[in-house]
Amino acid sequence: MSERSTSRSRRPRRRRWPLVVLGAVAIGTVAAVQSTDWLRSFGAQPTGDRLTRIQRSPRYRDGAFENAVPTRKSLPGSFRRTMKLQFTGDQQRVPPSAIPIVAGARETYATPPASGLRVTWLGHSTTLLEIDGVRVLTDPVWGERASPSTWVGPRRFHPPPLPLNALPPLDAVIISHDHYDHLDMPTIRALAADSSQQRLRFVVPLGIGAHLERWGVAPERITELDWGDTTGVGDAGRGATLTAAPSRHFSGRRLRDALGRGNPTLWATWVIAGDRHRVFFSGDTGFFEDFAKIGDQLGPFDLTLIKIGAYGETWPEIHVNPEEAVRAHTLLRGRVLLPIHWGTFNLAFHAWTEPAERVVRAAREAGAVVTLPRPGQPLEPSALPPHRAWWQGVR
């Protein structure tokens, strides 16, 4: 072997795979930006008069919103435990077959409910509420993923039971907070652009209006409320009041919000009060004793819509579990509990059916009335259908 060939054989090979990987990531990132508009999905930071009003809120301190009681997003030292739970466990976190939805159409809502109160759970925290002549949509999410991207993130278990363009004319959309599984940019854009929704107003907690304006919602259609604030919607004489009530959660749509202190916008529960009926909507919240105060001051409630899913042992202070949901329902002085925030996205380390099974047991033990309709099934709390554990048939 020649000296030249020997020296060539000893020369270390250049490892090109890191460059290939970095190039692929860069190309994928550019493609994601162009195809999903995910940068715009992050929303906008409050500025100007909106920021001035935020800074006057009793809940806003040192550049961020705070809960009324000390609240941790996760327990100290729980990161390793959380990662272990994420990648281990034999729970059936995703339905093994199709969920039996009830497909709806605009004609379904052409006739007002006989009782004056009707609700249609459309999946996760999205409900269509018809109350004393007023229609309110809660936390509308029609997107395929609870994510800023259409490529990655928790994917829906089932299609929306009611097409977005089949919604009846709405009076208001209410938003509980700005997380992706509760505030979906494409859905908001579609509702704002829908010519059949001319009277629609967006009623949101402080700061969230900045996101909506960036997505094309006209400022005059946006009403931002602090806890305790109330606004009216609907026609004079056939209207309803929407009240932002306390919640125990957090906010933020950007990575820096998740890694840092975050909480640039407010979160809230909601009270929807018509001429004859009252409804409580939880959005996302942890348990806190002020549920009793809300019940005393703004209740009792004909219907409570309270989250039961996506709880976890390492974040017990920001998401109620099923037993706490029943307890909250009782403190709120609710008559019928319709659980939400389950059965649509894989967001926690429990079987997808576990929240339903646990809330049924807890309600039975507490003597509470609970109803768990299929997604898309309209019902009136005054005439509930017989209980059917439909999720048990999804095998």
pLDDT in tens, 184-203: 999 999 999 999 999 999 99
User: Which pLDDT tens digit goes with each residue over 281-304?
Assistant: 999 999 999 999 999 999 999 999
pLDDT band at residue 151 using 50, 70 and 90 as cut-offs: confident
Residue-wise pLDDT for 110-144, tens only, equals 999 999 999 999 999 999 999 999 999 999 999 99
Q: Residue ranges of the domains in the chain?
A: 106-384
Q: Given CATH 3.60.15.10, say whether it is the number of domain 106-384.
A: yes
Other beta carbons within 10 angstroms of residue 296's beta carbon come to: 12
